[in-house]
Every structure is written in structure tokens, then in C-alpha cells.
Amino acid sequence: MCVKIVELIGTSPKSFEDAISDGVKRAGKSIRGISGVDVIGQTAVVNDNKIVEFRVNMKVAFKVE
């Protein structure tokens, strides 16, 4: 079995967990067989002392067919 890894950024206005879910959901539209996610970093965008966007840097692993 061969596995390929791509790095991407998921975003959400709600939470880091939603950012991860959104990233996997969007990646799943063009990548088949996602088998794992490794979160490598988290950041947030702040506007007027309030978090307006959560960002998660992640590596998505999937089987190569």
C-alpha cells in the first residue's frame, strides 16, 4: 500500500474543530480514500479584539490507487 500526503489549511468562523472538519470535507471532494489527518498548527485571525476566523494547518493522508 502506498500513501500520499498533501498539506492544506482548513478555516472556520466557529472553532478549530470545525476548521478541521471543513478541511477534510473539502479535500474529500477531490481526494478519495482519506485515511488520516495530522494537525500541525493552529492560528486565528483577530479583528477588533475578537477572533473572526480559526485556521488549522494539516496534513491529509490518502491511499494511492
20 in Cβ contact with 42 (< 8 Å)? no
In degrees, to the nearest 5, what angle opens at C-alpha 59 toward C-alphas 57 and 62?
150
Identify the CATH number of the domain in which residue 52 sits: 3.30.1660.10
Q: Is the pLDDT of residue 5 over 90?
A: yes
Q: What is the pLDDT of residue 1?
A: 79
Range of the domain at 47: 3-63
Counted domains in the chain? 1
Name beta bridge partners: 34: 62
Question: Radius of gyration of the chain from Cα atoms?
Answer: 13
Q: Decide if 6 contacts 59 (C-beta within 8 A).
A: yes
pLDDT at 65: 80
47 grid coordinates: 479583528
Q: What is the pLDDT of residues 6-31, one digit of tens each?
A: 999 999 999 999 999 999 999 999 99
How far apart, in whole angstroms, are the C-alpha atoms of residue 23 and residue 4? 17
